[in-house]
Amino acid sequence: MAEATLTAPKREYWRWKEYNWRDESLDWRQANVISVGIDVGSVSSQAVVLCDGKLFAYSSLRTGSNSPTSAQKALESALQETGLPREKIQYIVATGYGRVNIPFAQKAITEIACHARGANFIYGPSVRTVLDMGGQDCKAIRCDERGKVTNFLMNDKCAAGTGRGMEVMAELLQVPIEEVGSASLSPPEEPPPVSSTCVVFAKSEALGLLRQNWSKEKVLAAFCLAMAHRTVELLSRIGVEKDFAITGGISKNVGIVKRIEAELGIQALKPTIDPQIAGALGAALFAKALYEKEGAGKASSGG
Amino acid sequence: MLANYGYKDGSGEYFIAIDTEKCNGCGACVTACPMGLFEVVADPFDPLAENQIAVVKEEHRKKLKYSCAPCKPTGERPPLPCVMSCQPTAIAHSW
């Protein structure tokens, strides 16, 4: 018995699901411009395929140690079962941490510009403030009605307040990462936030709290509260203007979103499209614009 | 656009803000900064525009406190070379 439990595969609580999606109603053969955006982040990689600026397919995978391979895999996953051959793609833009070494992308664009553009597409032109909570950094972006950045601030010094920090906590407390948000909202009262902003210290602090007989949920609540608080501080530096939207993986964590909303006193917009693909989506939109712009200069190939 | 380069840590906030509306890409800051913090590149935040703007180099963004330290002695502080060199007053420091 003991042996069986020892050799049983270990459950990885941090491990979130990889996925892909496509719009069956769109036919890529009818499209004039097929553009692709690939966001190779520190934790996850997304690829988005647009047909004439309409969302056609996307994927989200874990980033490996090699960013060209991750980008390749994300693109393959997005194209899966669409029947769309690689040669038909007219323009590829890369973004995210790993954007600089992707050989098959025509251009690399900073993720700040892409997230603002992507959020503009997902939430509409009323979005003025975008908070991107990524795997390893957190970006506060202000933008205009065209999705053009007007002010930004990025915190990439440490992993506190990011997806990576969430993964660490999920694993430590053995709560599946998708359930962290709702679990953190279950304690009847809000505990004081953990004081450490560093993930490594917060981990030891969480252990200490568990030893004081705090429930898992209460520890998660304390951690989510600290994370939300830190993010709001970042936001307050650039100022928050309505409408406010959150993108990136953490936007799926209701525990964080609710707490940020409570601290800001502003409701975040509800996404109609997966907000984790905002960066790649923005890149794909830029790819389309760049293709049209560059195509206009060259002898027109007729699409 | 106001581009904030830098970070906040336990010891304070260290940001250099460059106003891209004001920046004309002249490159005066590039030569003025004794630590070589700045470079003039195609606007990274507006890929469709064609103008050149000054940015803080990637490798300095996470250590501005130390990169800027030579120009910021404690006590009497002389005017900052980057701020002084910038004709359109596009550069501001948060500390």
**Residue whose structure tokens are 């250099």:** B16
Q: In whole angstroms, how far apart are CA A99 and each of A71, A157, A213, A280?
A: 9, 19, 45, 11
Q: Are residues A152 and B8, on separate chains, in Cβ contact within 8 Å? A: no
Residues A76, B11: contact at Cβ < 8 Å? no
DSSP single-letter state for residue A88 = G
Residues A117, A284: contact at Cβ < 8 Å? no
Tell me if chain A has a CB within 8 Å of the CB of B68: no
* Best residue of A115, A139, A153 to probe chain B, by most B CBs closer than 10 Å: A153
Phi first, then psi: what are they for A241, rounded to 5°? -120, 145
pLDDT digits (tens, 9 = 90+) for B60-73: 998 999 999 999 99
- Residues A181, A186, A189, A192: is their CA dihedral positive or negative? negative
Tell me if chain B has a CB within 8 Å of the CB of A151: yes
Mean residue pLDDT of chain B comes to: 92
Q: How far is the alpha carbon of A283 from chain B, nearest alpha carbon, in Å?
A: 10
Tell me if chain A has a CB within 8 Å of the CB of B52: no
Residue A303's pLDDT is what?
Answer: 40
B10 to chain A: which residues are within 8 Å by CB? 197
pLDDT digits (tens, 9 = 90+) for A86-111: 999 999 999 998 888 899 999 999 99
pLDDT digits (tens, 9 = 90+) for A177-222: 999 999 999 999 999 998 877 788 888 999 999 999 999 999 999 9
What's the average model confidence in pLDDT over A253-266? 94
Residue A137 has pLDDT above 70, yes or no: yes
Residue A4 has pLDDT above 70, yes or no: no
Residue A30 has pLDDT above 70, yes or no: yes
Residue A6 has pLDDT above 80, yes or no: no
Percentage above 90 pLDDT, chain A: 66
Q: Are residues B4 and A237, on separate chains, in Cβ contact within 8 Å? A: yes
More confident residue, A240 or A237: A240
Residue A176 has pLDDT above 90, yes or no: yes
What's the average model confidence in pLDDT over A239-261? 93
Q: How far apart are the first and last CA of chain A?
A: 65
Long-range (24+ apart) CB contacts under 8 A made by A83-91 are: A83/A28, A84/A28, A84/A34, A84/A49, A84/A56, A84/A57, A88/A28, A88/A34, A89/A34, A89/A35, A89/A36, A89/A49, A90/A33, A90/A34, A90/A35, A90/A287, A90/A291, A91/A33, A91/A35, A91/A36, A91/A287, A91/A288, A91/A290, A91/A291
Residue A34's pLDDT is what?
Answer: 94
Residue A301's pLDDT is what?
Answer: 44
Joined tokens for residue A85:
């051959």
CB-neighbour burial class of residue B21 (10 A; exposed 0-12, middle 13-18, buried 19+): exposed
pLDDT digits (tens, 9 = 90+) for B28-60: 999 999 999 999 999 988 888 888 999 999 999
Q: Distance between CA A291 and CA A296 in Å, rounded?
A: 8
The closest CB to that of A113, out of B7, B8, B46, belongs to B46
- Residues A293, A295, A300, A303: is their CA dihedral positive or negative? negative
Q: What angle do CA A38, A142, A140 make, to 5 degrees?
A: 70
Residues B17, B91: contact at Cβ < 8 Å? yes
Residues A46, A60: contact at Cβ < 8 Å? yes
**Residue whose structure tokens are 């602090």:** A205
Residue A2's pLDDT is what?
Answer: 53
Mean residue pLDDT of chain A comes to: 89
pLDDT digits (tens, 9 = 90+) for A108-129: 999 999 999 999 999 999 999 9
What's the average model confidence in pLDDT over A220-226? 92
Residue A154's pLDDT is what?
Answer: 83
DSSP single-letter state for residue A78 = H
Cα dihedral A113→A118→A121→A127 (10° resolution): -70
Q: Which helix (DSSP H) or strand (DSSP E) does residue A284 occupy? A: helix A278-297
Percentage above 70 pLDDT, chain A: 92
Q: Distance between CA A232 and CA A302 in Å, rounded?
A: 49
